[in-house]
Structure 1
């Protein structure tokens, strides 16, 4: 007897369909699996055979052949175990072997009516999918990447997916498909014998509660540093990469860690894509099937290239992908290995990263905003030569750990200076005396409102384009949306010639100026926004050009 069962696996962050073909026929008793299988997939024959036996099923002496199609794609993981078991049971059932595979415990309520075929409706095998790993005791174990697999199952027209009970919450995050949790093979058999009694779970709006973020930090905790707040707000509004430069203890990390508090809430589409990445990596919380807050990833400077970019024999996303639609914060930038920073150059431009391995090539999303912080030298006081004790050679060696091409991809650079404690106390008292605590002019709530207004202007501007943010504009779009007056164009050309700004840097200045104009509610870029954008670009000349 021959049967086909639907199952799904993952490649990259996306799911793909696997057709489990099972043939049970007379012949020398055996269990053979084919279809370009990894070792853990091939071992399914022992897991399935033992699980069925320990669940109380006595398999007849038959020749069992299992093919996982498409045969040209390497199968990895253990997610097809449940489908293989379902295929074998279906073959034996339709072959009239029910009595031979019946559970030895005749009092088991799940097995009652197994032989009463007239009272049962037939399973809809073509629109059902089975995803799960079998334990040797017949239990069904949870998997990673279930969200991607269920999402692909819905796209392929599946109406119902059987999963481990632990994966139900994650599976029901996909709208339009029924999720059925089964704890073991015995429960699965009951479902197959009584399809009319199956009551699965569905997506409900309460699973996605965007805008309910709660943060334990706020920008109103940062006293002074108006230029830092302005630069951070512009970076968040246009999704620009930003670099904080200054001595230790001045507030660089403090500002960067508050970026999530001023970013707009995730949309449902963004939440699903981020959740797929976290599902593949096994980072989703059991009680939270969707990521509801924009990610903020801060890898240590000792991280490896594979951890940053993703990879492995079966490639998994790295830190830059885990930060998609959020922020990747690189603290102590100069302590990262130069090769780590250089591998980020392509993702920073293209919004994706390609990982190639012997068996497959996958593309992971990298739609993230890069925020970095660094000291200007070992002692932290350069270019204040009155305080800096580093030699020119030491400074050059320190700064040259960050390559020019990487710096060229930074949109905004801002200095974070040391502040006088007396002035900080005076400014704090003025702010608290002039504004209610909940409406402070420097609070994250106020800044977030401005960022969302700027994002709304960008959404309207790019409604007919394939981009969403000012930082993504191409040369054609820059020419269309970043027009300058004749005097401003001459002014910009003069500054770029004096500072030696590259063509890419020219585009960065115009993109940032466009975002500053959006924050100011202006339809056209003015001299003020252009001058501010140039100021945010002058860090490269000041530090790296002075050596």
Structure 2
């Protein structure tokens, strides 16, 4: 008897429905075809033990399983449940009248219990688009899938529950979720606040400008000056995620298997802080079976690279293209995968190998050591970082004062007002904030008066800035003007933006 049952495969951050055809005929043998990986080929052992432990068995006949389309690579143990149910239906051990109304996914343990799978959110979205009545999943995945409306989401702890659902009509636990309520309740949950940062007013201002325009920023300062502390608080002043952005971000984390059992929807912007020993593949994504890397997991959020010169140069250089294009393309011989990577880069570094600024008496690094240290960051990469800010050590008087600093909510209010101006300005364009401006938008929205033009011309000549750095200064100037509610870029806006190009100054080229 031939039975068709449906599962789903992940390709990039999207899903594609897989038709699993199970044919049970006279003879012996177990044949699985359709470009399945080793984890799927090993499923026969898990299925056999699981069925035996719940009172069923694989029939002693010839079983042929085809996973269509046959030219699409399938991987992982997520097809265990669908294959097992297909075998039972094809061998008349369970009823199969409405089995084609459901997408069924789940990994089997030997005792028949179900383990969670990855990529449930895009699977549920695809199932709804293709008109399936419902989706049957391990209980741990149900909250994530329930974000998708207009499709029934059923959870099971054991394959026996799924068998009884089809065979005896016993109800599976149906999971529903109020997505908007869930989103609104958790949208402002932040573990860190800028009020906890003592001093560092200049750095806080630079962080506010960076958040208002979505600009990349690098913090340069000695150990203990608060660089990491500042960076961890950036998500608290960024605009809250929209529901669309939350779904985009959740899809990526779902595909990467980073969603917890109690997490249904990403409600705050992600903050990713990889260790400096990370490989280039782990950072940008890829592998034999491509997975999203850290830059995609930071999509719509913050990627923090602590002690940036300690990262391998090859790792840093592969970020150059994603920083410009805001997506990363992973190419293999048989397919190409695109992952979104629109993130805000926050980096930190010491001013020298010894940890001190070049003009500090405690600096023991030689000129050669400092040049070699700075050369770990290429010019083209630094050009893609809009704001360079020096972070000085906090004086004792600042550290010991009881008065709290400005709260993140107050800073965020100003950031939101600036973003509102940008949303209005770019409403007819395919961009959302100043950092995304291209040459056409810069020409249209960054017009300078004579004083500002003379000021930036002088800076270009004295600092020997690149054309990309010139564009960065104009973008940051536009953001500073937005924070003031000014439609025009004035000379003091340009002057402040030029101050945020520390690493371009002769001071560093010792």
Task: Tell me if the contact between 1:467 and 1:473 (Cα under 8 Å) persists in the aligned partners.
Answer: yes
Alignment counterpart, residue 374 of structure 1, candidates 335, 346, 349: 349
Task: Tell me if the contact between 1:9 and 1:79 (Cα under 8 Å) persists in the aligned partners.
Answer: no
Q: 1: distance between equivalents of 2:354 and 2:146?
A: 53
Alpha-carbon offset, residue 383 of structure 1 = 3.0
Alpha-carbon offset, residue 510 of structure 1 = 1.1
Q: Relative to structure 1, is the Cα distance of residues 165 and 217 closer, same or farther in structure 2, using a 3 angstrom cutoff?
A: closer
Aligned to 1:448: 412
- Specify the structure having the higher radius of gyration (Cα): 1
RMSD: 2.4
Aligned to 1:221: 196
> Which digits, 9 at most, give the CA deviation of each residue in 1:406-434, with x for residues without a partner?
11111001111234434666xx57xx4xx
Aligned to 2:501: 537
Aligned to 2:122: 148
Alpha-carbon offset, residue 512 of structure 1 = 0.8
SS in 2 for 1:65: strand
> Which digits, 9 at most, give the CA deviation of each residue in 1:155-179, with x for residues without a partner?
3222200111222122212222211
**1:488-503 → structure 2 map (5 Å cutoff):** 488-503=452-467
**1:160-199 → structure 2 map (5 Å cutoff):** 160-194=134-168, 197=171
| Stretch moving more, 140-149 or 233-242 | 140-149
**TM-score, reference length from structure 2:** 0.93
Q: Relative to structure 1, is the Cα distance of residues 196 and 139 closer, same or farther in structure 2, using a 3 angstrom cutoff?
A: closer
The reply on whether 1:472 has 2:471 as its aligned counterpart is no
The count of aligned residue pairs is 509
> Which digits, 9 at most, give the CA deviation of each residue in 1:99-141, with x for residues without a partner?
xx37xxxxxxxxxxx7xxxxxx94161x311111223333322
Aligned to 1:137: 111
Aligned to 1:11: 11
**1:21-420 → structure 2 map (5 Å cutoff):** 21-25=21-25, 27-93=26-92, 101=93, 122-123=97-98, 125=100, 127-194=101-168, 197=171, 200-205=174-179, 206-209=181-184, 212-357=187-332, 360-384=335-359, 386-420=361-395
| Stretch moving more, 161-170 or 383-392 | 383-392
Q: 2: distance between equivalents of 1:349 and 1:445?
A: 30
Alpha-carbon offset, residue 194 of structure 1 = 4.9
Q: Relative to structure 1, is the Cα distance of residues 538 and 135 closer, same or farther in structure 2, using a 3 angstrom cutoff?
A: closer
**Gaps spanning 5+ residues in structure 1: where?**
94-100, 103-113, 115-120
Q: 2: distance between equivalents of 1:480 and 1:40?
A: 55
| Stretch moving more, 139-148 or 449-458 | 139-148
Alpha-carbon offset, residue 7 of structure 1 = 0.6
Off by >6 Å, runs of 4+ in structure 1 = none
Alignment counterpart, residue 448 of structure 2, candidates 470, 479, 484: 484
Alpha-carbon offset, residue 359 of structure 1 = 5.5
SS in 1 for 2:174: coil
Q: 1: distance between equivalents of 2:168 and 2:428?
A: 50
Alpha-carbon offset, residue 85 of structure 1 = 2.2
Aligned to 2:481: 517
Task: Tell me if the contact between 2:58 and 2:87 (Cα under 8 Å) persists in the aligned partners.
Answer: no
Alpha-carbon offset, residue 196 of structure 1 = 8.5
Q: 1: distance between equivalents of 2:189 and 2:81?
A: 40
The reply on whether 1:461 has 2:435 as its aligned counterpart is no
Task: Tell me if the contact between 1:210 and 1:266 (Cα under 8 Å) persists in the aligned partners.
Answer: no
**TM-score, reference length from structure 1:** 0.87
Q: 2: distance between equivalents of 1:211 and 1:448?
A: 17
Q: Relative to structure 1, is the Cα distance of residues 87 and 382 closer, same or farther in structure 2, using a 3 angstrom cutoff?
A: same
Q: 1: distance between equivalents of 2:253 and 2:399?
A: 41
Q: Relative to structure 1, is the Cα distance of residues 148 and 542 closer, same or farther in structure 2, using a 3 angstrom cutoff?
A: farther
Task: Tell me if the contact between 2:212 and 2:415 (Cα under 8 Å) persists in the aligned partners.
Answer: yes
Task: Tell me if the contact between 1:122 and 1:195 (Cα under 8 Å) persists in the aligned partners.
Answer: no
| Stretch moving more, 157-166 or 135-144 | 135-144
